[in-house]
Amino acid sequence: MAGTAAVASAAALAGAASAPYVRRERFDRPLPLLSLRRLDGLLRARAGERLLEIGPGSGRQALHVAPQLGREGRLDIVDVRHRALDRVVRRAAGNGIGTVVPCLADVHHLPFGDAVFDAAYLVTVLGAFPAPAGTLAELRRVLKPGGRLVVGECFHRHRLRVPALAAHAARAGLRVEALSGPSFAYYALLQPLPGRR
């Protein structure tokens, strides 16, 4: 039932909510300042972990992160568009990666239980969502205690500047633990504030 509701919610919101996901696709080309190496430095993906990516675009990050999780690990990718999910899964299969699991859902209503993921990440999409604090709160809900959330933002009109990200994070019960890169193209590591759920 919850899965059906999530799919219905995703379909109902597809018009408004798809904009950040589509925008993610436009920026899904190599960006020197948002490199995969810098993502690795904060995400620290490990074999056997379960990770979540929001708005995978064409799969650039997913195809890089999933192999780091090994055969026992899993990368769930969330988007509001079937086509985007299908494309990433096809690319993963073509690269011999069978641990990428698609999920059609809206980021504000993730169909996962509490404290499921070791880490989550989203690159060039958070600033385009209408309620970034709500997005972060939902991601915090699905993170395990001590889980890692990496946000990548770059030079586009919807990007969140670091002070705005810190303010949204605090409202969601998260804090910025580390930053990598210049203020106009950065990755930020967020972690749950102790004692808040």
- At residue 172, the pLDDT reads 97
- Taking only the tens place, the pLDDT of each residue in 106-145 is 999 999 999 999 999 999 999 888 899 999 999 999 999 9
Query: pLDDT higher for 25 or 74?
Result: 74
Beta strands in the chain (DSSP E): 50-54, 74-79, 100-104, 117-123, 143-153, 174-180, 186-192
Alpha-carbon separation of residue 19 from 26, 57, 130 (angstroms): 11, 12, 10
* More confident: 15 or 187: 187
Are the beta carbons of 73 and 141 closer than 8 angstroms? no
pLDDT of residue 186: 96
How many H helices and E strands in the chain?
A: 6, 7
What is the rounded CA–CA span in Å between residue 122 and residue 180?
A: 15
**124 phi-psi bin (left φ>0, alpha ψ -120 to 50, beta other):** left
- Residue 58 CB partners (closer than 8 Å, separation 6+): 25, 28, 84, 87, 88, 91
- Which amino acid, residue 162? V
Rg over alpha carbons for the chain, rounded to the nearest Å, is 15
Give me the sign of the Cα torsion angle 101, 160, 27, 123: negative
Q: What is the pLDDT of residues 66-91, one digit of tens each?
A: 999 999 999 999 999 999 999 999 99
Cβ count near 27 (within 10 Å)? 19
C-alpha torsion angle, residues 134, 153, 74, 115 (rounded to 10):
-30
Question: In sequence order, what are the residues at sequence separation of 6 or more whose Cβ sits closer than 8 angstroms to the Cβ of residue 180?
Answer: 38, 41, 42, 186, 187, 188, 189
Token pair 């759920």 is at which residue? 197
The whole model's pTM is what? 0.85
The 10s digit of each residue's pLDDT in 35-56 is 999 999 999 999 999 999 999 9
